[in-house]
A and B are shown apart, each in its own frame.
Chain A
Amino acid sequence: MANSNDTSGRAVEDFLAEAEEIVDRLSTDLGTLGDCADSGECDPDLLNAIFRGAHSLKGLAGMFGFADIQQLSHNLENLLDSLRLGKIPLTNATMNILFDAMELLGSVVRGLGTGENFSSAIADAIQRLNDCATAQESGGESPLQKLGLPEKVLNSLTEYEEHRLLENVKKGRTIYSIHASFNLMSFDQDLGEITEVLKKSGEVVSTLPSASATPESMIDFEILYGTDLALDDVTGLIDRDNVEVTRIGAAASPPSAIAAGVAVAIPATAQASVPTSAPAEVSAPVGQGDDMTAKSMSRTVRVDIGKLDDLMNIVGELVLSHSIISMLATRMRLEGFSSLAIELGKAAKGLDRKLTELQKGVMEIRMIPVGQLFEKMARIVRKVSREQGKKVDLKTFGADTELDKLIIEDIADPMVHIIRNAIDHGLETTEERVAAGKPERGTIRLSSYQKGNHVVIEVSDDGHGFNIEKVKKKALEKGLIKTLEGVSDREALDFIFLPGFSTADKVSELSGRGVGMDVVKNNIAAVSGMVDIESIFGQGSKVIITLPITLAIIKALLVSTAGRTYALPITSVLETIIVTENDIDTVERKEVYQLRQTTLPLVRLERFFGVPRTKPDSAEFYVVVVGVAEKRLGVIVDDLMGQQDIVIKSLGDMFKGYRGITGAADLGDQRTILVLDVGGIIGEAFRSGG
């Protein structure tokens, strides 16, 4: 370790945050690189950016003494270096090695501190990276001297830039030196504009700054540019007073002169559009140049989500304090302190408004667009489709829908599983698709939208869908049902969420093994989410995940039964209905209710908790329909008391064994009530109900 004093917890956190950012960006870039590896023509800037990412990570890991990350990224960097220097070709086999190494790198970074041991996997990956990097290393390179570059320029080229220069020469491109002189105040913008334009018709190999000989307020740049364009065309591209273009090296050989002549025809149109398109790009820059501006103009801060949790808790307590104040105000008014009471009431209202804003503000800080999740999923789609040899298009919708960061993190794993399932089991092989009259390429759709206090994420595929009859047969085989009769298609699809249930004919390495949809369901239920499946045989399936927007402060439905009040998180409440004793049927000694063609199992809350009734049951009562994952249950209560924001407090370890209770909440009128754990109640009800 470099210096144990510097490596404080805070610094390590910084490292983790930056390392994760690098790994995420690398994975995305690698995905893009993988797409162009097939065609063989890749953007050298992209490859270089990936190299730089691995390089930064290696440096950082070294500083913090994370030897395994350092080693892995060192070997990754070596391979990437060989690739960017053109020492080895970019093939699909190499891409696979890179993908695997990058995925491992991500796991190791995210696994820091969990004590998980990756050493054998790392040793493996390093071996593969090394084999690949050394396999085809070629000899020395031809010298650049014959280009006749000024020594000053030649001396400040990195090895990579020398290689790019040679590549351009090899391609028969002409090398130009573009000398530009800019004001010190605005050089980055001016230079950015020029390079953007240049990049469209060639490659900017290097940019060498030098102090201007003339006024001190100016700065000069020597840009090395490789292109098929002729001198006049390059000059035409950048029509500025302070820019001079010179051609470097000996006259181009005849074949490249012809190539230049042909090439001009195409960029000629691009050239015509330059004056209008260039200014627009300055305000919304794309490409590599904006890395620099984005950094220097960034107005964001990185916040530990724990701090936001604390803040949210304080807001929650303020909300409660407000409830107490407004209740006192009401009581005062009733007891006759009228003018004071009215003023207090007004003040409480004002406080309420501000608190709502504060709560919203804090919540918004935690919100990130699901697009970040979609990007990760895009990588999974690429990876799995490659492994499976299936052609898959990914379409995303609603990437800017926002969701609590913690929820997004928690559903990433279930999403990966759903997507793997969709590609592995859902989509047919190319031959099967063609035979079925479907397009050769399968489509996975990821969409997200907000629906009230929920965010819905849907994953759909246009594969063969579920064979419901097969699902039912499997359920019968496994003894989940006694007869096929009376099992609706809807109910049959729910079997998919049962542990150990798989309709895959063969257990695939991808998704058939180990974890199943039951794990997906549990993980989603853990963040108070629900999951559903829709499927049309022959046309595809859709997995629908419904999530609460945030977890910190929740809206609850207050209910009372046998004289006690409980809170039901509104995220699990689907609807409420009024029923009478006559509406209730009994199936196998369990109470049920027929709700729109489905049989809803019922639970009487007071019986569930064993609370004695002092008064007889009323003839009319409420059923709160709750759902977690795909399960639905009707909870019978005496009365509904309206919605309220509550902050769930843990009951501590002593109450851990109590099923059906997730915590307690203060109601603000000195009353503490229990918050029901809908998942627990459902689990218990279904366990005892069979």
Chain B
Amino acid sequence: MKKILIAEDSSTMRSLLVATIESLGGYLVSEAASGFEALRLLPREPVDLIITDINMPDINGLELVSFVRGSENYRHIPLFIISTEGSERDREKGLALGANEYLVKPFDPARLQELIKQYTA
């Protein structure tokens, strides 16, 4: 089973992401409701992919990307940012920091599934 970590503060949005991922089969999802929780969950078990929102209460998505890419242990994990269309600069920064994909909410489930398969193959 591949493991995917989601950092997203909206519980409904998390359920949608989980549903989309689990319907692929072969994936297990850990859910973090904040950047802090993601930091706490990361060391617990190997993760094959991280999906993060940008606007979160404590640590924002960009900071999470920066953390992951700056860390010896996690820098190779593929990472998607998923956020509502908004600041072009946040998007550019996310990609510059090393996010592999930037998806716009409302996301297209089929597209997300395709990307997940591609990055975790």
Contacts and interface: CB of A to CB of B under 8 A. Distances in A.
B36 A188 contact: yes
Contact of B93 (A59, A156, A207): A156
A63 B70 contact: no
A211 to B, nearest CB: 3
A533 interface: no
B12 A14 contact: yes
A15 B12 contact: yes
A11 B15 contact: yes
Interface residues of A, number: 46
Contacts of B39: 187-188, 209, 219
B46 interface: no
Interface in A1-52: 2-3, 6, 11, 14-15, 18, 49, 51-52
Contacts of B65: 156
B87 A208 contact: no
Interface string A202-213: 000011111100
Contacts of A188: 36, 39-40
Interface in A169-220: 184, 187-188, 191, 206-211, 216, 219
Contacts of B64: 209
A120 interface: no
B60 A158 contact: yes
A630 interface: no
Contact of B59 (A56, A184, A209): A209
A161 interface: yes
Nearest to A59: B105
Main secondary structure of the interface of B (DSSP, over half): helix
Interface stretch (A284-292, A498-506, A656-664): A284-292
A291 B97 contact: no
B62 interface: yes
Given A81-B86, A208-B67, A56 B10 contact: yes
B107 A2 contact: yes
Interface string B10-46: 1111011001100000000000011111011001000
Contacts of A56: 9-10, 13, 55
B109 A2 contact: yes
Given A52-B55, A296-B34, A209 B13 contact: no
Interface of B: 9-13, 15-16, 19-20, 33-37, 39-40, 43, 54-55, 57-60, 62-67, 70-74, 83-84, 86-87, 89-90, 93, 96-97, 105-110
| For the complex of A and B, 6 pairs with smallest distance between CB atoms | A211-B71, A62-B106, A156-B66, A59-B105, A209-B67, A156-B62
Given A59-B83, A209-B59, A219-B39, 16 more contacts: A18-B10, A56-B13, A59-B84, A60-B12, A62-B84, A70-B106, A77-B84, A156-B93, A156-B97, A157-B62, A158-B55, A184-B43, A208-B67, A209-B64, A211-B67, A292-B57
